[in-house]
């Protein structure tokens, strides 16, 4: 038999789900004209291909903004939450979409010389109100970009009190080349070789990029650890900036102290009056109470009482979240990159073809997930591992009815309570483990087909109870919604002489 030699070329691939995507929402304005505010999520500063010839975060953002501005765009939010950074050249290319000129950052290497990193001069793609949304996990290239926007007075930084605080850059060095013996494979060292600073010489290391408008931070174990919390982290330091370095933005859309004062006043009112921020505080307190408890009783009746109280509190918060999500919604249109959209449509066509057979995939448990149709008409696989089953503890009667209808056998609310508790304890939720847990419903008297039909009916009911599972965009992303309101308020009065803040919406 003849042998064939096939050469494979390695290449960096950026998945469609990891590329920039966004939407435009309409918010009511004081003049009666809805404000169209865009939102673009940047998971990382990715690049692929030579010089980003295949995939580039700056290229993708450019395409999204061009789509959004084809109609009208009154303001824009760039979502850098949890963005770990990536290619610094992409941070520069992205900055050039919003700045006409200027220094992006300063750096100092092992030789001790201070280096300027200037942007290419040119007409920015977008000149309107810009809000950069950050978190404690926004790091590296994210901080370079956010720092440039802040220094040049181009954007309002909103979100965590400060970003991660990684003000250093690393290089990979092959040990064999250091010895001049390229034939020997002695491995690679990753060394910190440079520090970087804001254009005015301020430190990013440990300090991060302070927000202009501070939101309450989402609390979770290890989530808010910053560079300063790491063992052996380099100290912060500042440098003298080169002569002549000045902010690039002046005029109507320059970020001024007056603008920040007025926007902070509006956000303070929102924190106090809007039900969604009250919900945010309630959920934070529940998380804090759960995490902080170091002592637990060994008495069964005490533990049952504590568990019941905890479930009741979470169920009340979840019910409030659902109500706010359904009651206060901004009309929103999604935007995607053309190549990603084309690939998704091809994939959707394939899935829909499979979904018309004798055993359709829609709502069917398959390989640890099940298929649903979103509010945008797209098919989506929901992984069982991503569902917090315990939050449905207040819906046991509805879930019992769904299981009963699917299985053709009555199940009780008590059965559902046990099922939700046991499935929440599973380390990995596979078809086998989930069906084995469901098989104990009705004392294990149901056959396998009935158990599967009942479980699939139950899973479908979960998506109806929690509409976020069927939405293209999050129904109630509270920090994002506040950022949209900030951009809308800025768009209401672009001059700094008198900024009128639209009143918050009260459901």
In 3D, which of 321, 135, 107, 124 has the Cα closest to residue 216?
135
What is residue 178's predicted lDDT score, i.e. its pLDDT?
67
- Determine the pLDDT at residue 120: 94
CA-CA distance, 54 to 308, in Å (whole number)?
A: 54
Residue 154 confidence (pLDDT): 96
* pLDDT score of 497: 42
C-alpha span between 296 and 303 (Å, rounded) = 8
Encode 368-419 in three state secondary structure.
CEEEEECCCCCEEEEEHHHCCHHHHHHHHHHHHHHHHHHHCCCCCHHHHHHH
Quote the CA–CA distance of 224 and 207 in Å, as a whole number.
14
The answer to whether the beta carbons of residues 305 and 297 sit under 8 Å apart is no
- As beta bridge partners, residue 203 has 197
In the predicted model, residues of the chain with pLDDT beneath 50 are 496-507
3-state secondary structure of 358: coil
User: What local confidence, expressed as pLDDT, does residue 184 receive?
Assistant: 66
- Three-state DSSP state, 29: coil
The pLDDT value recorded for residue 507 is 34
Helix ranges, 255-373 (H): 257-273, 275-292, 300-327, 338-354
Quote the pLDDT of residue 502: 42
Angle at 438 between CA 435 and CA 443, to 5 degrees: 130
How many angstroms separate the CA atoms of 461 and 406, rounded? 11
CA proximity to 399, closest of 377, 417, 422, 376 = 417
């Amino acid at each position: 038999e003849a042998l064939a030699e096939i050469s494979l070329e390695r290449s960096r691939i950026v998945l469609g789900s990891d590329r920039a995507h966004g939407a435009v929402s309409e918010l009511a304005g004081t003049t009666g004209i809805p404000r169209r505010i865009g939102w673009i999520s940047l998971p990382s500063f990715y690049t692929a291909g030579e010089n980003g010839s295949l995939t580039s975060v700056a290229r993708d953002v450019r395409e999204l903004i061009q789509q959004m501005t084809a109609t009208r765009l009154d303001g824009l939010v760039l979502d850098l939450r949890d963005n770990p950074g990536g290619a610094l050249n992409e941070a520069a290319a992205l900055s050039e979409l919003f700045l006409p000129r200027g220094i992006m950052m300063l750096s100092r290497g092992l030789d001790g010389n201070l280096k300027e990193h200037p942007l290419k001069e040119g007409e920015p793609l977008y000149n309107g109100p810009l809000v950069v949304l950050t978190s404690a996990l926004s790091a590296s290239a994210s901080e370079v970009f956010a720092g440039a926007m802040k220094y040049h007075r181009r954007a309002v930084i909103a979100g965590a009190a400060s970003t991660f605080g990684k003000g250093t850059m690393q290089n990979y060095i092959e040990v064999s080349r250091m010895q001049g013996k390229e034939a020997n494979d002695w491995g690679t060292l990753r060394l910190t070789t440079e520090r970087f600073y804001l254009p005015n010489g301020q430190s990013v290391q440990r300090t991060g990029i302070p927000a202009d408008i501070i939101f309450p931070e989402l609390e979770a174990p290890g989530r808010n650890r910053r560079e300063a919390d790491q063992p052996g982290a380099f100290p912060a330091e500042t440098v003298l900036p080169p002569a002549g370095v000045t902010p690039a933005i002046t005029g109507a859309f320059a970020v001024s102290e007056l603008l920040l004062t007025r926007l902070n006043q509006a956000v303070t009112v929102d924190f106090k009056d809007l039900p969604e921020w009250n919900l945010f505080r309630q959920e934070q307190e529940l998380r804090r109470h759960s995490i902080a408890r170091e002592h637990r009783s060994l008495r069964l009746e005490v533990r049952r009482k504590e568990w019941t109280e905890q479930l009741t509190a979470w169920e009340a918060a979840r019910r409030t979240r659902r109500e706010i999500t359904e009651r206060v919604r901004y009309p929103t249109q999604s935007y995607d990159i053309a190549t990603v959209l084309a690939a998704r449509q091809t994939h959707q066509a394939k899935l829909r073809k499979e979904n018309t057979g004798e055993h359709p995939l829609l709502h069917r448990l398959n390989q640890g997930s099940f298929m649903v149709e979103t509010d945008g008409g797209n098919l989506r696989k929901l992984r069982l591992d991503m569902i917090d089953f315990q939050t449905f503890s207040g819906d046991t009667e509805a879930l019992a009815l769904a299981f009963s209808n699917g299985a053709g056998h009555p199940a009780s609310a008590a059965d559902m309570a046990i099922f939700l508790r046991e499935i929440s304890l599973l380390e990995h939720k596979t078809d086998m483990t989930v069906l084995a847990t469901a098989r104990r419903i009705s004392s294990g008297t149901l056959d396998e087909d009935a158990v599967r039909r009942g479980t699939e009916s139950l899973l479908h009911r979960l998506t109806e109870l929690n509409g976020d599972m069927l939405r293209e965009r999050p129904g109630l992303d509270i920090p994002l919604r506040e950022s949209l309101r900030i951009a809308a308020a800025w768009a209401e009065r672009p001059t700094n002489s008198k900024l009128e803040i639209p009143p918050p919406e009260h459901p």
